[in-house]
Amino acid sequence: MSIVTQALLIAAGIGLTVTALLAIVRIVRGPTILDRMIASDVLLTTLMLAVGADMVARGHTDTIPLMTVIAATATLATIVVARFVKRRADQPTLQQPKETGHV
Distance of CA 88 to the CA centre of its chain: 21
Q: What is the pLDDT of residues 4-35, one digit of tens each?
A: 999 999 999 999 999 999 999 999 998 999 99
Residue 88: its pLDDT value, please?
Answer: 85
In a domain, 74, yes or no: yes
Q: What is the pLDDT of residues 64-84, one digit of tens each?
A: 999 999 999 999 999 999 999
Distance between CA atoms of residues 85 and 28, nearest Å: 19
In a domain, 63, yes or no: yes
In a domain, 97, yes or no: no
In a domain, 23, yes or no: yes
* 31 upstream amide cis, omega within 30 of 0: yes
Contact 63, 54 (CB under 8 A): yes
In a domain, 30, yes or no: yes
More confident residue, 12 or 100: 12
What range does the domain containing 76 cover?
3-90
Contact 81, 34 (CB under 8 A): yes
In a domain, 99, yes or no: no
| Residue 81, CB-side half-sphere exposure with 13 Å CA sphere | 16
Instruction: List, in sequence order, the alpha helices (H) in the chain.
Output: 3-29, 33-58, 64-90
Q: Looking at the predicted structure, is the pLDDT value of residue 1 above 90?
A: no
In a domain, 101, yes or no: no
The domain total for the chain is 1
- pLDDT band of 39, cuts 50, 70, 90: very high
In a domain, 60, yes or no: yes
